[in-house]
């Protein structure tokens, strides 16, 4: 069941790189034009305001001594008289003689009209910028050689491991039949994954009663395989914007991620009971939701990725992709070791903030197991893990790799 | 041969389009600016002559505050007029002195316009030269001069 049965379309053929670049330039030119117009309007507004001031100040004196211009190149010394009477151009050659206050009102109304023009221009510019950035990312993606893979959706049995394949370009409408899958070449690995899935299911059954928020994805994951997968693929597809960034950000975190998956297995094995610390779990949930997202494999059926954590989703994808890439090299060493070397991550995760109680950890870990990322597990030296765990930003999508570590650590405790 | 010719022709055309034509446009723009200046001084001179003719001593005008908002202004004594002599200076003149200055100024402006006109003409001839060269390369028949009447 490993080979994708779909069509592979290189992105470059759909959106030629050159044209994408040209489109970007065109849109940027338009943006520049609109920007100039906006500057114009802003000047007018500034002028308007200064005149409103002047018009209000003039009546303070009976006369003002001024230099009266005579054409463009000559002046007469003179004085302003009738300082409360203003002649205002209404347009089309019509003038109105008004007092200072009335003139100020006219000018204020003009200012409001200008303001609304500026607002509409701003909205215009914003749209154009979004368009430009879309073209830009499309161009860069096409240049990188991303491919779009379309496959018929087939409901797979739970025993198989599905990894998300190369991410699609952004902007593709999620086809109903699309599913991303990684090629599973290794039989041993498949068996391992199957076993993990079974353990997952058992844990899910155990978790259903205890967890509140986490229950939702868990329950859904257990019940609605097809929907989950579709949703996952949908979220995956909508994450294209983030996918690139995550790819780069997480490329170095592959090891950590693998370690995390390593934790997962011990979790399953231990069948950690979900403690009824729902409040804690909820709080932890919000903190680590990203982690959860990350743990979920796009292809595994059980966990249902949270819709709101799209970014984490994409990172999950990325990590999965990396995992897959490294699978060949890692598997031979990591597979069996993962099961037995669960203790190692524990030390690494000591850096985890102590806010998480063991209960939370336990529930978290239980929650993790339901997510069931069963990517290749790699045994890594402690150095890598410690450095990883040392870089824990608070609930940041970039910090996902560290999350699994900590969770595992807590579970260990 | 054809290819080389094509390249040469292309180069000529590019030269015309990217160098000569913008030069022409720029020169015409500068000359227009000087035309405006000239117009200003001509108007000023006419106004001052008018004032002198009608012996206007005081003046009521509407002064533009900007954005077409006008205020009445009164000039009690029109004998003194300040004229812009360039570099941000304005010199106080009487009418006759002002008229004198304005005619000097107008001469200077006329000379400037003459210069610009010459420049524009030379650019135009250069453009024509290049076109003729292209035509020769393409071996098209030369343009006939516009038919002239012979008296």
pLDDT digits (tens, 9 = 90+) for B122-134: 999 988 888 888 8
Q: Which helix (H) or strand (E) holds A12?
A: helix A11-14
With contacts defined as CB-CB under 8 Å, which chain A residues touch B67? 47-48, 51, 107
Q: Do A73 and B68 touch (CB under 8 A)?
A: no
Pairs of residues, one from chain A and one from chain B, whose beta carbons lie less than 8 Å apart: 95
Tell whether B20 is covered by a domain: yes
pLDDT value for A111 = 93
**pLDDT tens across A197-255, in order?**
898 888 888 877 665 444 444 444 444 444 444 444 444 444 444 444 444 444 444 44
With contacts defined as CB-CB under 8 Å, which chain B residues touch A54? 65-66
Q: Do A79 and B76 touch (CB under 8 A)?
A: yes
Q: Do B67 and A54 touch (CB under 8 A)?
A: no
Q: Which B residues in the span 76-105 are in contact with A, Cβ-Cβ below 8 Å?
A: 76-78, 80-84, 90, 98
Residue among A67, A72, A88 minimizing CB distance to B40: A72
**A389 burial via Cβ count (<10 Å: 0-12, 13-18, 19+):** buried
Of residues A242 and B28, the one with the higher pLDDT is B28
**pLDDT tens across B78-102, in order?**
888 888 888 888 888 888 888 899 9
Tell whether B144 is covered by a domain: no
Phi-psi region at A91: left, alpha or beta (left = phi > 0; alpha = psi -120 to 50): left
Tell whether B126 is covered by a domain: yes
Q: Which residues contact A32 (CB under 8 A, 6 or more apart)?
A: none
**Interchain contact B74–A (C-beta under 8 A):** yes
Structural domain harbouring B65: 3-137
**Interchain contact B145–A (C-beta under 8 A):** no
Tell me if A349 sits within 8 A of A389, measured CB to CB: yes
Q: Which helix (H) or strand (E) holds A124?
A: helix A100-144
Q: CA-nearest residue of chain A to B99? A: A74
Mean pLDDT, chain A, as a whole number?
A: 62
pLDDT value for A270 = 43
Of residues B118 and A154, the one with the higher pLDDT is B118
Domain count, chain B: 1
Shortest distance, CA A45 to any CA of chain B (angstroms): 11
Q: Which B residues in the span 105-144 are in contact with A, Cβ-Cβ below 8 Å?
A: none
Tokens, residue A90: 């209404």
**Interchain contact B41–A (C-beta under 8 A):** yes
Q: Which helix (H) or strand (E) holds A227?
A: helix A225-238
pLDDT band at A395 (very low <50, low <70, confident <90, very high): very low
Q: Do B80 and A77 touch (CB under 8 A)?
A: yes
Q: Do A67 and B82 touch (CB under 8 A)?
A: yes
CA distances from B137 to A272, B13, B20, B130 (A): 89, 12, 20, 11
pLDDT value for A371 = 57
Of residues A138 and A263, the one with the higher pLDDT is A138
Rounded to whole angstroms, how far apart are CA atoms A331 and A336? Answer: 9
Of residues A281 and A376, the one with the higher pLDDT is A376
**Interchain contact B73–A (C-beta under 8 A):** yes
Tell me if A399 sits within 8 A of A323, measured CB to CB: no
DSSP codes joined into one string, chain B: -HHHHHHHHHHHHHHIIIIIHHHHHHHHHHHHHHHHHHHHHHHHHHHHHHHHHHT---EEEEEE-STTEEEEEEES--S-EEEEEETTEEEEE-HHHHHHHHHHHHHHHHHHHHHHHHHHHHHHHHHHHHHHHHHHHTTPPPPPPPP----
Tell whether B151 is covered by a domain: no
pLDDT value for B118 = 93
Residue among A66, A73, A107 minimizing CB distance to B84: A73
pLDDT value for B65 = 86
Is the pLDDT at A272 greater than 80, yes or no? no
- A409: closest CA among A364, A378, A379, A373? A364
Interface test with A, best of B59, B64, B67 (most A CBs within 10 A): B67
**pLDDT tens across A26-36, in order?**
888 888 999 99
Helix, strand, coil shares, percent, chain A, to 5: 65, 10, 30
Average pLDDT over residues B71-79: 87
Q: pTM here?
A: 0.45
- Which residue shows structure tokens 């100020």? A104
Tell whether B143 is covered by a domain: no
pLDDT value for A225 = 46
Residue among A48, A55, A68 minimizing CB distance to B75: A68
Tell me if A360 sits within 8 A of A284, measured CB to CB: yes
Shortest distance, CA B145 to any CA of chain A (angstroms): 44
CA distances from A242 to A144, A146, B138 (A): 15, 14, 57
- Which residue shows structure tokens 């098209």? B140
Phi/psi at B82 (5° precision): -105, 125
Tell whether B147 is covered by a domain: no
Q: Do A78 and B67 touch (CB under 8 A)?
A: no
Tell whether B18 is covered by a domain: yes
Q: CA-nearest residue of chain A to B71? A: A86
Tell whether B57 is covered by a domain: yes
**Interchain contact B63–A (C-beta under 8 A):** yes
pLDDT band at B115 (very low <50, low <70, confident <90, very high): very high
Tell me if A263 sits within 8 A of A402, measured CB to CB: no
Q: Do A73 and B81 touch (CB under 8 A)?
A: no
Which CATH number is B114's domain given? 1.10.287.370
With contacts defined as CB-CB under 8 Å, which chain B residues touch A95? 70
Tell me if A356 sits within 8 A of A394, measured CB to CB: no
Q: Do A88 and B69 touch (CB under 8 A)?
A: yes
Residue among A48, A75, A78 minimizing CB distance to B67: A48
Tell me if A344 sits within 8 A of A251, measured CB to CB: no
Shortest distance, CA B50 to any CA of chain A (angstroms): 13
**pLDDT tens across A81-114, in order?**
888 999 999 989 999 999 999 999 999 999 999 9
Query: With pLDDT > 90 as the criterion, what percentage of chain A qualifies?
Result: 13
Shortest distance, CA A90 to any CA of chain B (angstroms): 9
With contacts defined as CB-CB under 8 Å, which chain A residues touch B41? 73
With contacts defined as CB-CB under 8 Å, which chain A residues touch B104? none
Q: Is residue A64 helix, strand or coil? A: strand
Is the pLDDT at A177 greater than 90, yes or no? no
DSSP codes joined into one string, A369-413: HHH----------HHHHHHHHH---TT-GGGTTHHHHHHHHHHH-
pLDDT value for B127 = 87
Rounded to whole angstroms, how far apart are CA atoms A265 and A343? Answer: 11
Is the pLDDT at A175 greater than 80, yes or no? no
Shortest distance, CA A108 to any CA of chain B (angstroms): 12
Shortest distance, CA B32 to any CA of chain A (angstroms): 16
Shortest distance, CA A126 to any CA of chain B (angstroms): 30
Q: Do B63 and A74 touch (CB under 8 A)?
A: no
């Amino acid at each position: 069941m490993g080979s994708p049965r779909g069509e592979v379309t290189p992105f470059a053929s759909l959106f030629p790189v050159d044209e994408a670049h040209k489109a970007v330039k065109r849109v940027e030119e338009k943006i520049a034009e609109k920007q100039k117009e906006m500057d114009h309007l802003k000047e007018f507004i500034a002028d308007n305001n200064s005149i409103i001031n002047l018009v209000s100040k003039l009546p303070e004196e009976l006369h003002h001594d001024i230099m009266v211009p005579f054409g463009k190149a000559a002046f007469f010394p003179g004085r302003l008289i009738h300082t409360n009477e203003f002649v205002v151009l209404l347009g089309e050659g019509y003038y109105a003689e008004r007092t200072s206050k009335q003139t100020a009102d006219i000018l204020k109304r003009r200012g409001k009209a200008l303001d609304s023009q500026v607002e509409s221009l701003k909205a215009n510019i914003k749209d154009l910028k979004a368009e430009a950035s879309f073209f830009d990312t499309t161009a860069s993606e096409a240049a990188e050689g991303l491919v779009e893979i379309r496959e018929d959706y087939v409901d797979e049995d739970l025993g198989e491991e599905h990894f998300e394949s190369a991410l699609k370009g952004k902007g593709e409408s999620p086809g109903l039949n699309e599913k991303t899958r990684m090629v599973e070449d290794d039989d041993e690995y498949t068996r391992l994954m199957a076993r993990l899935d079974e353990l997952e299911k058992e844990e899910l059954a155990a978790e259903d009663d205890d967890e509140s928020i986490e229950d939702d994805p868990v329950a859904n994951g257990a019940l609605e395989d097809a929907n989950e997968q579709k949703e996952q693929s949908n979220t995956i597809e909508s994450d294209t914007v983030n996918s690139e960034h995550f790819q780069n950000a997480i490329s170095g975190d592959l090891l950590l991620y693998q370690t995390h998956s390593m934790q997962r297995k011990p979790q399953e094995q231990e069948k950690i009971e979900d403690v009824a610390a729902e409040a804690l779990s909820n709080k932890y949930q919000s903190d680590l939701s990203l982690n959860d997202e990350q743990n979920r494999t796009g292809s595994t059926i059980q966990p249902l990725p949270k819709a709101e954590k799209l970014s984490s989703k994409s990172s999950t994808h990325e990590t999965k992709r990396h995992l897959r890439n490294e699978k060949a090299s890692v598997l031979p060493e990591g597979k069996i070791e993962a099961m037995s070397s669960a203790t190692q991550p524990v030390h690494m995760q000591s850096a985890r903030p102590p806010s998480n109680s063991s209960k939370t950890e336990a529930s978290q870990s239980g929650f993790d197991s339901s997510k069931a990322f069963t990517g290749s597990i790699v045994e890594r030296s402690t150095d890598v893990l410690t450095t990883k765990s040392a870089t824990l930003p608070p609930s940041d999508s970039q910090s996902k790799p560290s999350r699994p570590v900590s969770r595992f650590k807590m579970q260990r405790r | 041969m054809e290819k080389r010719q094509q390249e040469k022709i292309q180069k000529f055309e590019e030269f015309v389009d990217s160098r000569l034509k913008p030069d022409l446009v720029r020169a015409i723009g500068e000359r227009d600016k000087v035309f405006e200046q000239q117009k200003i001084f001509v108007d000023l001179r006419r106004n001052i002559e008018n004032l002198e003719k009608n012996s206007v001593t005081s003046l009521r005008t509407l002064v533009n505050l900007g954005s077409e908002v006008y205020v009445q202004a009164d000039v009690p004594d029109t004998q003194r007029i300040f004229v812009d002599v360039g570099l941000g200076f304005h010199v106080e003149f009487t009418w006759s002195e002002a008229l004198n200055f304005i005619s000097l100024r107008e001469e200077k402006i006329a000379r400037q316009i003459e210069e610009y006109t010459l420049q524009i003409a030379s650019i135009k001839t250069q453009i024509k030269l290049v076109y003729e060269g292209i035509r020769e390369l393409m071996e098209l028949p030369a343009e006939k001069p516009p038919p002239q009447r012979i008296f």
